[in-house]
Structure 1
Amino acid sequence: MSPRLEDEVPDRLYMVTGGRSSVTDDAFDLVTLIVSEGDPTPGMQSEHARILRLCRSPMAVVEIAAELRLPVSVVCILLCDLLDTGRITARNPRPAPAETRLPDPDMLKQVLVGLQNL
């Protein structure tokens, strides 16, 4: 009888991450865009190579995790490896400028009252 997938997954994830369970750096969140800075090299870990191929154009961390079918936490560990060696660039989304933020709620209420009075 062959082992169940559930029994193999923890062992596989342990191997993929080299036993690491978390990253010390908060360089990535779910929407951080990752761009590869080169092609995979011979002998590179297969997950690292897949990330480099996937990220030839910008791809969010959550999309990478979905493509690799790995937990986001595991993907972040792999991305840290690639970032530390300069093989990827991480681009965090820019916050919206102050002038594009939502208007003051009190002003919206006044506009609503004005429209209701029409």
Structure 2
Amino acid sequence: MKAWISPLFAAAILVGAGSLAQAKPISRIIAEMGLTPEDFSVVSATTTEILAGGIPQVGTERKWSNADTGSQGTVRVREVRDNCVHFQHLIQPAGAEQSREVRTRNCRDASGNWVLAP
């Protein structure tokens, strides 16, 4: 489960921290985005699903929703370059009027595992 959540934790840091000098606890960042830890698990599982078949094609998209919280969103492959997949996450927390965008990048390591890249 730790491997599933880590890419989205990094994404939350990118969204929640205005600069690298202003680090916040991940629990606070998740809360400020309006998502629950369970929402993050669903988003992360969706991203992992896209990567499970190897290198996906640009435009590949999966919708997700958490029936327990009402949060929903979409994970989309926006670019594949240099053995890396760049994702665009459109996240709409329960009760939010607008979705929020988060971008992440996962690359294959020497062993063929997908890892979050800066």
Shorter-normalised TM-score: what interval? under 0.3
Greater share of residues in helix:
1
Greater share of residues in strand:
2
Q: TM-score, normalization: structure 1?
A: 0.25
Q: Which protein shows a greater Rg? A: 1
Higher relative contact order (CA 8 A, sep 6+): 1
Q: TM-score, normalization: structure 2?
A: 0.25
